[in-house]
Structure 1
Amino acid sequence: MKAIVTATVFVLFWFTCVSDGKRNVLVLLGDDVGFQFGCYGNQKIRSPHVDALAKRSLLFKNGFTSVSSCSPSRSVVLTGLPVHQNGQYGLAHDVHHFQSFDEVQSLPLILASHGIRTGLIGKKHVKPDTVYKFEVEVTEEEYSINQVGRNITFMKEHVRDFLEASRNDTRPFMLYIGIHDIHRCDTGGKLGDFCEKFGDGTSPGTGVIPDWKPEVYTPEDVEVPYFLPDTPATRQDLANMYKTYSRFDQGVGLFLRELENAGFADDTLVLFTSDNGIPFPLAKTNLYDPGQGEPFMISSPYQRDTWGKTTELMASTMDILPTILDWFQIQYPKYSLNGQAVQLTGKSLLKALAPNPGPAFDLVFSSHVFHEVTMYYPMRVIRTMGMKLIHNLNYRAPYPMATDLYLNPTFLDILNRTESGETLPWITTLDKYYFRDEWQLFNLTSDPYEQMNMADAPEYHDVITSMQTTLNAWLVETDDTWRCLPAGELEGNTCYPLYNGGKKGMGRNK
């Protein structure tokens, strides 16, 4: 079967102005980072370093994660495969035993086999190490996650060490920096809900991060996103989060300065995005736009005419691996998983830097299975510029709450207000948040906040049928074990209905 988004044969794409020297890559991956940057229109936050990166990048107004959960999302970044295909179904905690299949060919393995030096500094959070092995690793497996992911001075020093070693190495490099901000901290701890006191130099017993000059915000200073209730609890929660954005932003500035000081700024492709949306209701773990949408930038030193520009083209974290392979002119390896040949369905974002990028940028897919092991809520999503279709496979169960999404001031305030019958200025209700229809179809042009489900509307019959067909074809191509659920049983490559002659599931014969 032909690929839905890109050709099944990986087509290399090259710019006309190619450097004679090394071509390197820097990936900056945030943790639960949303759109709270000046370059994305937030008028209340101060983010000079990310905004400066935007001025030397092509900024995607339509960037998306392939799955709104930490380990699964990172596995997609590093494999180019959706989680239902690569096997990293949920968070990579030892007790859960979620990890990718041993045969998966990840980005660091592919690059190493082609003589490219690889490094990971910061949060890793994927397993097994045999699949996700970098040549140089400075991660939570060796250090405290706060030190390696939030202490931007500590991280800067290791970035400098990696780049200095690369100056004396004939090989190109790919450096992946996993920043742990804006992820929430241990609830009720002395470091604050977002670890905003960690290293701020003013909170007793929390240490000092020399390179961080904290920006402090009051509840009146923040911009409340449309998907959150505008309450004192939410505003204080956001103010705490904004403070960690200053650490994140200044870290980005430090790392880019190290790249420049090492002499690599003129031959390094920079990719900037996050694993999922901010850790608030309707965002993180959800595949509504606040959870699926991500900041996304690509900066090519050889396409400076694209710097400072924005694009409506759609980018996905599933596109990062194809982009990096394209940059290094490496073919994706031929191999199989569970008896089926593996093919990339993402596309190279280098094409977005060209005048006529083609139709591959007009839709994206997402696939979610678990967050924690007790949080089973598989979803499959197809999103175009104007429409989104969500298939909730476990729709009969209440939507599960990730721990950091439950034990936080914003959600606890929602719970208390709902219980007491107080006014709750929220775009939804607790019952609607927990209980969702199997199919959710949103017209994003007339309903950008995804409030009106048109799945059963007669006038959208042809639209939903077409989107279901396209989504199902992608699920078949990526060998989704869940593709027949909830109304069918997968046997071989065939979906059989649970009720003889009754409603069929999505899946169809190959």
Structure 2
Amino acid sequence: MNQLSLTRRDLLAAAAATPLLATVACQSVPIPAPTESNPARARPKAVPRHLIVLVSDDQSRIDMSGSGNPDCHTPNLDRLAQSGARFERGYVVVGVCKPSRSALYTGLYPHNNGAIGFVPVRDDVRTWCELLQPETCATGMIGKLNVKPVSKFRFEKWVAPKKVGDARAGDAIAEALRDMIRGFGERRMAIVVNLKDPHRPFREPLVDDDPATPIPHDPAKIHVPAKFADTPETRAELAHYHDFLWRLDRTIGSVLDVLDETGIARDTLLVMTSDNGRPFPFAKTTLYEAGINVPFLVRWPGVIEPGTRSDAFVSLVDLLPTALDMFGVDPQVPLDGHSLLPLLRGEVASVRERFVGEHTEHLKGLPNPSRSIRDTRFKYIRNYPAAEDFKSNVLEFSMTWNSWMKLAKDDPVLRERMLRFMRRPPQELYDLESDPDEMHDLAGDPAHATTLARLSAELDEWMRATKDPLSRA
């Protein structure tokens, strides 16, 4: 396989160049009546009046009690899932916060919007705020923006993190949302609420005087993931992380209450997701499932059947196209994402047959690019040559990783696993059906050579079609 060895300057320069539904809700925005010249409008399609997107910070799909995690206590997230749809294959396009959020607000993969890492989107790329104008809908933001340049992301109303306890104070967030909804009055709304939990730093465990609460979580009772080394430091950080997940869930509950109190819940398409996976090794900043497979819960009263579970591939890159479809806005240029309204209305079974992830660079170290593609069973990862070992702030600020470094001196199995993480092989292949933790790389197994070649070719085709600068064409 011909590989490319690229510098950060090269990458920046290249970048610059299964129905879900019940009956139609009576509260949906009406579609214009049919005319003689357009009989297709004879059956109006449901369209939500409002869109609210809740984005947690560093949460993997598995980090909810409803996803089978025995350490999680997330009754409000479970309540939200039961009132709508839980998408098991919800993905971010990149497992890093800023480029992931840039993809959300542009509907484009990083190599197409320019934000391949912690750099701004290109000037010629139109964003959420530039496409959704005040005459179309009111746009609001609560919490951190975390995209650049700020001039291209001017929400009509923005409540900065410091006004809501660094976007961790549930009561303050709920009050800000209540005021925003009331301030927008009778207008249609597109509001994004960016929640800081369960992001690091993990300093002290949370404390609550109520004996019924699960915090602080007991490190001794935490279940350690299969890919992790079981050290006291690992258990302590996982316990703190689950404390923050519990606080996140309480905030979600407060937000759901506000939507009910203000009377807009029945008219709102509500999406809850995350910007990337959990802040641990083999997760955030990687293309492994724990890094890019995130919660994706969707509620649309009267349209989505409560308690629905779906295996359709959906992504944060689909949220802007969905908003544009809702509010009748033409993006004027092709987007990488797809409107989810046809899927949610049950008109199609899926919006894509496979999902592609990409990683190019992070805050630490030189570019360490990789691309991935997965179908309903297998995931293929292609790692491009890098000038140095993989680095990220997840490793630098992690007591977990540092404890593994010490243990690995006398544990050859752990040492090999960590070396493969820092010095990725050219190709990786995993059977997600039998190996959801991605423990067994099948890339060198002759029995899976055909699958590897097929997915490699499909990734090449996608990269050429989307003008990825790493395309071997």
- Taking the TM superposition and a 5 Å limit, the aligned residue runs for 1:259-278 are 259-278=259-278
- Write the distance in 2 (CA, Å) between the matches of 1:427 and 1:449: 18
Judged with a 3 Å threshold, the aligned counterparts in structure 2 of structure 1 residues 291 and 67 are, in CA distance, closer, same or farther, namely: same
Judged with a 3 Å threshold, the aligned counterparts in structure 2 of structure 1 residues 437 and 114 are, in CA distance, closer, same or farther, namely: farther
Partner amino acid for 1:71? K
Judged with a 3 Å threshold, the aligned counterparts in structure 2 of structure 1 residues 15 and 124 are, in CA distance, closer, same or farther, namely: farther
The residue that corresponds to 1:309 in the other structure is 308
Partner amino acid for 2:360? V
Matching of residue 322 in structure 1 with residue 321 in structure 2: yes
Contact map agreement 2:365 2:390 (CA 8 A) in 1: no
Which whole-Å deviations, capped at 9, do the CAs of 1:22-79 have from their partners, x for residues lacking one?
7001100010012221111122322111111111120011221110001011111111
Judged with a 3 Å threshold, the aligned counterparts in structure 2 of structure 1 residues 356 and 454 are, in CA distance, closer, same or farther, namely: farther
- Write the distance in 1 (CA, Å) between the matches of 2:287 and 2:355: 12
In the alignment of these two chains, the number of paired residues is: 433
Range that drifts further, 265-274 or 381-390: 381-390
- Write the distance in 1 (CA, Å) between the matches of 2:54 and 2:350: 27
- Write the distance in 2 (CA, Å) between the matches of 1:131 and 1:428: 45
- Write the distance in 1 (CA, Å) between the matches of 2:172 and 2:121: 30
Matching of residue 433 in structure 1 with residue 421 in structure 2: yes
The residue that corresponds to 1:364 in the other structure is 355
SS at match of 2:351: helix
Contact map agreement 1:90 1:373 (CA 8 A) in 2: no
- Write the distance in 2 (CA, Å) between the matches of 1:396 and 1:437: 14
Matching of residue 44 in structure 1 with residue 71 in structure 2: yes
Partner amino acid for 2:440? M
- Write the distance in 2 (CA, Å) between the matches of 1:47 and 1:301: 21
- Write the distance in 2 (CA, Å) between the matches of 1:45 and 1:471: 35
- Taking the TM superposition and a 5 Å limit, the aligned residue runs for 1:74-473 are 74-91=101-118, 98-112=119-133, 115-140=136-161, 143=162, 147-166=165-184, 168=185, 170-185=186-201, 193=202, 196-197=205-206, 215-305=215-305, 307-334=306-333, 343-355=334-346, 357-372=348-363, 374-395=365-386, 397-400=388-391, 402-419=392-409, 421=410, 429-473=417-461
User: Gaps spanning 5+ residues in structure 1: where?
Assistant: 1-12, 92-97, 186-192, 203-212, 335-342, 484-506
Partner amino acid for 2:276? N
Give the superposition deviation at 1:423: 8.2
Contact map agreement 2:372 2:380 (CA 8 A) in 1: yes
Contact map agreement 1:183 1:194 (CA 8 A) in 2: no
SS at match of 2:468: coil
Range that drifts further, 18-27 or 234-243: 18-27
Contact map agreement 2:369 2:383 (CA 8 A) in 1: yes
Which whole-Å deviations, capped at 9, do the CAs of 1:81-104 have from their partners, x for residues lacking one?
11111111223xxxxxx1110121
Contact map agreement 2:51 2:190 (CA 8 A) in 1: yes
- Write the distance in 2 (CA, Å) between the matches of 1:89 and 1:31: 19
SS at match of 1:124: coil
Contact map agreement 2:85 2:304 (CA 8 A) in 1: no
State the identity as a percent. Answer: 29
SS at match of 2:224: coil
- Write the distance in 2 (CA, Å) between the matches of 1:297 and 1:472: 31
- Write the distance in 2 (CA, Å) between the matches of 1:48 and 1:427: 38
Judged with a 3 Å threshold, the aligned counterparts in structure 2 of structure 1 residues 50 and 16 are, in CA distance, closer, same or farther, namely: closer
- Write the distance in 2 (CA, Å) between the matches of 1:102 and 1:373: 25
Which whole-Å deviations, capped at 9, do the CAs of 1:234-270 have from their partners, x for residues lacking one?
1111111111112100111111111111110010101
- Write the distance in 1 (CA, Å) between the matches of 2:268 and 2:325: 13
- Write the distance in 2 (CA, Å) between the matches of 1:395 and 1:447: 27
Give the superposition deviation at 1:296: 0.9
Judged with a 3 Å threshold, the aligned counterparts in structure 2 of structure 1 residues 75 and 53 are, in CA distance, closer, same or farther, namely: same
Give the superposition deviation at 1:467: 2.1
Give the superposition deviation at 1:196: 4.8
Partner amino acid for 1:274? S
Give the superposition deviation at 1:454: 3.2
Partner amino acid for 1:350? L
The residue that corresponds to 2:45 in the other structure is none
Judged with a 3 Å threshold, the aligned counterparts in structure 2 of structure 1 residues 47 and 135 are, in CA distance, closer, same or farther, namely: same
Give the superposition deviation at 1:332: 2.4
The residue that corresponds to 1:28 in the other structure is 54
Which has the larger share of helix?
2
Contact map agreement 2:314 2:351 (CA 8 A) in 1: no
Alpha-carbon RMSD: 2.7
Give the superposition deviation at 1:344: 1.9
Judged with a 3 Å threshold, the aligned counterparts in structure 2 of structure 1 residues 121 and 415 are, in CA distance, closer, same or farther, namely: same
SS at match of 1:32: coil
1:476 maps to which of 464, 467, 473: 464
- Write the distance in 2 (CA, Å) between the matches of 1:160 and 1:84: 37
Contact map agreement 1:68 1:276 (CA 8 A) in 2: yes
Judged with a 3 Å threshold, the aligned counterparts in structure 2 of structure 1 residues 427 and 350 are, in CA distance, closer, same or farther, namely: farther
Judged with a 3 Å threshold, the aligned counterparts in structure 2 of structure 1 residues 80 and 68 are, in CA distance, closer, same or farther, namely: same
Contact map agreement 1:214 1:247 (CA 8 A) in 2: no
Give the superposition deviation at 1:16: 4.4
The residue that corresponds to 2:42 in the other structure is none
- Write the distance in 2 (CA, Å) between the matches of 1:14 and 1:77: 28
User: Gaps spanning 5+ residues in structure 2: where?
Assistant: 1-20, 31-47
Give the superposition deviation at 1:428: 5.9
Contact map agreement 1:182 1:194 (CA 8 A) in 2: no
Partner amino acid for 1:175? I
- Write the distance in 2 (CA, Å) between the matches of 1:371 and 1:88: 11
Contact map agreement 2:205 2:216 (CA 8 A) in 1: no
The residue that corresponds to 2:36 in the other structure is none
